[in-house]
């Protein structure tokens, strides 16, 4: 990945970290624009993330790209407290 954009903010190097407003609604939708190197002709991926409040600060998305079809699939993994 080369760039991640969220709400007009851009991160160009790892780790891709963003500071967001503290007054963000607990049901706000954030659109992440993921831009890749393009070695496999992968297009940019727009990922819509629904913010779930302070209990939802850490999440993982599984991204799969099929170079034969040129399509992305995404899946959000649930996190459980220990």
DSSP 14: S
Cα separations in angstroms, 47 against 13, 31, 81: 18, 6, 24
Q: Which residue has the higher pLDDT, 59 or 57?
A: 59
Amino acid 2: pLDDT: 83
Element (H, E) at 10: strand 9-11
Share of the chain above pLDDT 70, in %: 88
Model confidence at 58: pLDDT above 80: no
């Amino acid at each position: 990945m080369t760039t991640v954009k969220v709400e007009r903010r851009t991160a160009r190097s790892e780790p891709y970290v963003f500071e967001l407003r503290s007054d963000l609604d607990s049901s706000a939708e954030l659109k992440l624009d993921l831009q890749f190197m393009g070695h496999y002709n992968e297009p940019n991926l727009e990922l819509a993330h629904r913010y779930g409040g302070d209990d939802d600060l850490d999440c993982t998305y599984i991204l799969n790209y099929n170079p034969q079809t040129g399509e992305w699939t995404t899946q959000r993994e649930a996190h459980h407290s220990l």
